[in-house]
Amino acid sequence: MINVIDNIDSTNSWLAQFNLDFFDSIISLKQSEGRGRQGRSWESHEGGFYYSVVLPNNDLLPIIVGISVAEVLYENGIIAKVKWPNDILVEGKKLGGVLCQMKGEKVIVGLGINMDNKSSLEKSISLSALGFSIDKLDFISKFNEKINSAMEDSNEDIIEQFLIYDCLIGEHVSWKEGNGQVVKLAEDGRLVVRDSLGELIFLTDEVHLQ
Ligand code: BTN
């Protein structure tokens, strides 16, 4: 079931209060306390897309979500890249982000996309600035279809799909404890990076492009 609401603190926090079924979801026109990854906040003015959905746990779920968003955007004419694990970039700027939160065997997946809203962040971009507009309910239905279908795929196929949209392989990145060059994505979804000593490091947290 999709719950549609005018305003909420955070669609992720709202879903987390209930014991819901897979694919139960909420979309809000705005959020007063939108949350981003790593404890950051997520600007959530009217015009943006703020959606959360309950999904089954899967090692590669963050990757699957990124691919699914990029595919729906592509079908609407928008060429997006995914910065591992699931930042959605267009022209090198952030169009959207995903916040996955574990709740038992379920995961609350929150998706924010800049649509008709203006973000104050310099390195962000919106669909309206790109000259595009997507119906939000249509986006949700296509996104859920993609998720359902990707859940049936093998890890190998999911990684292969991810590589179509990836923008990190071969790039120099930094993370909390170091820096290095991205080699590949491991089968369990970790990012494999070669550090300055030639060691392979398997990362689970986000990285920054240098
Ligand atoms: C990020 O890139 O840091 C993730 C941003 C996720 C934002 C979305 S908007 C809908 C859902 N509700 C929240 O409070 N956060 C996510």
Q: Which CATH class is domain 2-165?
A: alpha beta
pTM: 0.95
**Can you tell me which atom of ligand 1 is nearest the CA of 9?**
14
- Give the closest residue (by CA) to ligand 1 atom 15: 35
What's the rounded Cα separation, in Å, for the pair 56 and 166? Answer: 24
Cα 67 to Cα 46: distance, rounded to the nearest angstrom: 25
Determine the pLDDT at residue 121.
85
Tell whether omega for the bond before 85 is within 30 degrees of 0, i.e. cis. Answer: yes
Cβ density class 15-38: b for 16+ within 10 Å, e for less: bbeeebeeebbbbbbbbeebbebe
Distance 98 CA to ligand 1 centre (A): 5
Do residues 93 and 119 make contact, with C-beta atoms less than 8 angstroms apart?
no
Torsion sign, CA atoms 146, 147, 148, 153: positive
Of 17, 33, 42, the residue with max ligand 1 atoms within 8 A of its CB, to mutate for a pocket test, comes to 42
In degrees rounded to 5, what are phi and psi of residue 13? -65, -40
Tens of pLDDT along the chain (210 residues) come to 899 999 999 999 999 998 789 999 999 999 999 999 999 999 999 999 999 999 999 989 999 999 999 999 999 999 999 999 999 999 999 999 999 999 988 999 999 999 999 888 889 999 999 999 999 999 999 999 999 999 999 999 999 999 999 999 999 999 998 999 999 999 999 999 999 999 999 999 999 998
pLDDT reported for residue 62: 95
CATH of domain 171-209: 2.30.30
The helix/strand/coil state of 136 is: helix
For the chain, the domains span 2-165, 171-209
Candidate of 9, 111, 121, 205 to mutate for ligand 1, largest count of ligand atoms within 8 Å of Cβ: 111
Q: What per-residue confidence (pLDDT) applies to 210?
A: 87
Put the strands of the sheet holding 81-83 in their side by side order: 2-8, 25-31, 49-56, 106-113, 93-103, 87-90, 81-83
- Ligand 1 is surrounded, with C-beta below 6 A, by 10-12, 31, 34-37, 40, 42, 50-52, 87, 97-99, 110-112
Q: How far is the CA of 110 from the centre of ligand 1 (A)?
A: 5
Contact 14, 52 (CB under 8 A): yes
Dist CA 189 CA 170 (whole Å): 17
- pLDDT on residue 105: 87
Question: Within 13 Å, how many C-alpha atoms sit on residue 49's CB side?
Answer: 23
Question: To test ligand 1's pocket by mutation, which of 99, 101, 125 has the most ligand atoms within 8 angstroms of CB?
Answer: 99
Amino acid at site 47: G
Distance in Å, CA 66 to ligand 1 centroid: 13
Q: CB of 116 within 8 A of CB of 151?
A: no
